[in-house]
Copies of this chain bind each other. A is one copy, B any other.
Amino acid sequence: MHLDALDTPAVIADLAVMERNIAMMAAHCREVGIPLRVHTKSHKIPEIAHKQLAAGAIGIACQKLGEAEVMVAAGVTDILIPYNIVGPLKVERLTRLAKRATITVAVDSEDTARGISDRARADGCTVRVIVELDIGTKRCGVQSPEAALALAKTVVEMPGLEFIGLMLYPSRLEARPFLERTLELLGAAGIPVRMISGGGTGAEAASKQLGCTETRSGSYIWEGMTRIGGSAMLNPERCAGRVVVTVVSLPTADRIIIDGGMKTFASYPPTPYGHIIEHPDAHIYGMSVEHGHVDVSGCSHRFRVGERLSVIPLHQEMTLNLHDELVGVRDGIVEAIWPVAGRGKVR
């Protein structure tokens, strides 16, 4: 089936571009000498995870337990969940998962660790644990090397947990003093560190320089507008994600309306909304919930109702998270329609 036979709005992946992005990142990490763990929250599709693993990734990261369950069911065997898993329902699912695959989970508090330990002990299994450092991101993570040591000691002592190492995000050289001091303290305490997980697309070399044992990257497969820095710097040749839309209204000479708005693109003001490949001079200046509003005053092209346009969304990950399927296209031909199997797995 040709792409033009799909109804709109449709979220598509240009497979040649996506595969090139996957291959380039794999090559980059090999050159740098850092093992790559792919963050699949960027797509939530097992088939794409398997392409990334086939290109050499050592495992995946999932931000939600529900996504990890989908990936284990699809045969992925090594998953890092860089998220504090809290609450009895979740820790039970975590230990079930840990019996089926190599699962590593981040913690930043004794409370989180104890919740997992209690359940793992009851279930007779062991969960691999890393301690998250807040290296200045000001999100989760322990605040000092001393706090990291204290939590690592606690984890080491808790039944059902295996202390594996450390995690940080994003990898940047400013993290070196925090990380090195933590490693010193752990070394002095005789606590071995087998894993240091850094992360952030574009931070692969920094992960290596920091001494990480792996780096987590996700959004590189799309190379969307947020990654590249806005439409002025956009290189559509690198962007694998598209939303195909239809012009549904031509109310005035300078305005067209497309059949995708906030519920299709997940874009809110004042961000740019997307880049129209066929007509870079057409400017998506606004979105209501179901309509995209496009200023075409700078275009010589005469648009018509029913015309189709290909839009690079601002943030492919957030866009895809609104949709149930991703259409894989090569040279204009539909090659795959993948359910976004991890979408909606919010817990």
**B-contacting residues of A (Cβ < 8 Å)?**
7-10, 41, 63-64, 83-84, 86-87, 89-90, 108-109, 111-112, 115, 134, 138-143, 246-252, 255, 257, 259, 262-264, 266-268, 270-271, 288-291, 293, 304-306, 317-318, 321-324, 344, 346-347
Q: Give Cα A271–Cα B90 distance, bound, in whole angstroms.
A: 31
A89-B288 in contact given A115-B306, A139-B251, A263-B318 (Cβ < 8 Å): no
Q: Give Cα A134–Cα B250 distance, bound, in whole angstroms.
A: 11
Copies in the complex: 2
Contact B249 A84 (CB under 8 A): yes
The residue that A111 contacts in the complex, of B262, B270, B305, B324, with Cβ under 8 A, is: B305
Known interface pairs A63-B290, A322-B322; 7 further A-B residue pairs with C-beta atoms within 8 A, sorted by A's residue number: A8-B87, A9-B346, A9-B347, A139-B291, A142-B251, A263-B321, A264-B346
> Across the interface, which residues of B come within 8 angstroms of A141, CB to CB?
249, 251
The residue that A248 contacts in the complex, of B83, B143, B293, with Cβ under 8 A, is: B83
Contact B304 A317 (CB under 8 A): no
Q: Tell me the smallest distance from the CB of A269 to a CB of chain B, in Å.
A: 8
Contact B291 A140 (CB under 8 A): yes
Q: Give Cα A344–Cα B111 distance, bound, in whole angstroms.
A: 37
Q: Tell me the smallest distance from the CB of A322 to a CB of chain B, in Å.
A: 7
> Across the interface, which residues of B come within 8 angstroms of A271, CB to CB?
268
> Across the interface, which residues of B come within 8 angstroms of A323, CB to CB?
344, 346
Which single residue of chain B is at the shortest CB-CB distance from A293?
Answer: B139
> Across the interface, which residues of B come within 8 angstroms of A63, CB to CB?
289-290
Most buried by B among A250, A324, A346: A346
Contact A248 B289 (CB under 8 A): no
- 24 A-B residue pairs with Cβ-Cβ distance under 8 Å, sorted by A, are A7-B87, A41-B289, A63-B290, A83-B248, A86-B305, A109-B305, A111-B304, A111-B305, A111-B306, A115-B306, A134-B251, A138-B251, A138-B255, A139-B249, A139-B251, A139-B257, A139-B288, A139-B291, A140-B249, A141-B249, A141-B251, A263-B321, A268-B268, A323-B344
> Across the interface, which residues of B come within 8 angstroms of A291, CB to CB?
139-140
Contact A108 B346 (CB under 8 A): no
